Amino acid sequence: MTGPRTEATAGELRAAGLRVTAARVALLETVRAGDHLDAEAIASGVRERVGHVSLQAVYEALRALTAAGLVRRIEPSGSPARFEGRVGDNHHHVVCRSCGAVADVDCAVGDAPCLTASEGHGFSIHEAEVIYWGLCPACSTSGST
């Protein structure tokens, strides 16, 4: 592990109370460089950076990084869990019904209004998750449904 980005990533892991390993640094950097990757794609990216790592180790590290708030897990219906490095800003997602592509969508009305539910049922709400469904530009022009 070398380089300023890698050292910064290691510092973030330490600040979150997590043990710093080459695999965790590679995993966090892979998630941040990727685009809503699933665990298998993340494992492949980690392997390119540090060599062998088991899929189970990737799942365990993703669980720890998600719990620490360094990674966000999203679970579009009918799709494996996806992970992203964009955290803490209450953004949403758009998912293609045909190919499964996922893209970020900023909250249309700002941060706090998205957290104001029409009925909170006594809950203290910290996050809103909205998923828009449709067809991506490529699938729209190819006639996919």
Residue 64 maps to which CATH number? 1.10.10.10
Amino acid 88: pLDDT: 83
Same structural domain, 69 and 8: yes
Q: How many domains does the chain have?
A: 2
Q: Is the pLDDT of residue 6 over 90?
A: no
Same structural domain, 99 and 46: no
Amino acid 82: pLDDT: 97
Residue 30 lies in a domain: yes
* Mean pLDDT for all residues in the chain: 90
Same structural domain, 96 and 36: no
Residue 63 lies in a domain: yes
Q: For the segment 98-113, what is each residue's pLDDT rounded down to a tens digit?
A: 999 999 998 876 556 6
Amino acid 8: pLDDT: 93
Q: For the segment 17-75, what is each residue's pLDDT rounded down to a tens digit?
A: 999 999 999 999 999 999 999 999 999 999 999 999 999 999 999 999 999 999 999 99
Q: How far apart are CA 125 and CA 121, in angstroms?
A: 10
Same structural domain, 124 and 66: no
Same structural domain, 15 and 45: yes
Same structural domain, 104 and 44: no
Q: Which domain holds residue 118?
A: 89-142
Q: How far apart are CA 49 and CA 97, in angstroms?
A: 32
Q: For the segment 114-131, what is each residue's pLDDT rounded down to a tens digit?
A: 777 888 899 988 778 889
Domain of residue 110, CATH code: 3.30.1490.190
Amino acid 4: pLDDT: 73
Q: How far apart are CA 98 and CA 133, in angstroms?
A: 10
Best CA proximity match to 94, nearest among 65, 136, 124, 123: 136
Residue 82 lies in a domain: no
